[in-house]
Amino acid sequence: AQSVTQLGSHVSVSEGALVLLRCNYSSSVPPYLFWYVQYPNQGLQLLLKYTSAATLVKGINGFEAEFKKSETSFHLTKPSAHMSDAAEYFCAVSERNRDDKIIFGKGTRLHILP
Amino acid sequence: EPEVTQTPSHQVTQMGQEVILRCVPISNHLYFYWYRQILGQKVEFLVSFYNNEISEKSEIFDDRFSVERPDGSNFTLKIRSTKLEDSAMYFCASRGLAGETQYFGPGTRLLVL
């Protein structure tokens, strides 16, 4: 069975500081990995995805994530936080080669301090 | 850019009533999904649908729930005999034949009173 663990339900960073949101996954087969962002009262927007090409994945809004198989991790980073980055971030996993469900982590709410 | 749309954006109903949540997936997509998110909790898978039948469903998707693709564009989630605990945001998603990315709609917030 697949699962996702996001460390830290709330993370606060200062504007301009590095953003690091941690995600570890468990999967018995090679996974697809995703980061979705949810702004207040809005739906889910795909930030980036890992599908077996490059292990360092670049997404929208300056975010990137690195797939580390040995650590079963897919942490999300951004070099310099903006106030507009304040949102809920969900790490997610699904099985490759199947029309399968996405399993979401519990989410990390990112707060940006002025 | 094509997007998934959902109606209504908000739905309030009395416990025991039936509700139908509607979704229009991206036009060339073939896989369809419903997820829900109870307030303050994580997004949970409900059901996946392909080739006019359910591919997989979670234990949340009990016999009060049903899905249908009544025509070539809509994908609906029906909940009969609604319960207070059905109150949540319901997201529809769709995926293309060769793609791995599910695209999510903006959600329908359901409140059962």
What is the interface size between A and B, counted as CB pairs within 8 Å? 51
pLDDT at A95: 77
- What is the distance between the terminal CA atoms of chain A, rounded to a whole angstrom? 41
pLDDT at A98: 61
Helices (H), chain B: none
Does residue A28 contact residue A1 with C-beta atoms inside 8 Å?
yes
pLDDT at A81 over 90: yes
DSSP string, B4-40: -EEE-SEEEE-TT--EEEEEE--TT--EEEEEEE-TT
pLDDT band at A31 (very low <50, low <70, confident <90, very high): confident
pLDDT at A99 over 60: no
pLDDT at B42: 87
pLDDT at B28: 87
What chain B residue is nearest to A37 in terms of C-alpha separation?
B104
Q: Do B95 and A99 touch (CB under 8 A)?
A: yes
| Mean confidence (pLDDT) of chain A | 91
Residues sharing a CB contact under 8 Å with residue B61, sequence separation 6 or more, in sequence order: B46, B47
The mean per-residue pLDDT over the stretch B63-74 comes to 92
Tell me the chain B residues in contact with residue A34 when contact means C-beta distances shorter than 8 Å: 101
pLDDT at B6 over 90: yes
pLDDT at A53: 75
The mean per-residue pLDDT over the stretch A26-43 comes to 87
Paired tokens of A79: 């070099």
pLDDT at B61 over 90: yes
pLDDT at A100 over 90: no
Minimal CA–CA distance to B103: which of A40, A107, A46, A32? A46
**pLDDT tens digits, residue range B20-33?**
999 999 998 989 99
Paired tokens of B65: 């729930």
Question: Which candidate from A32, A36, A45 shows the least CB-CB separation from B100?
Answer: A32
pLDDT at B100: 72
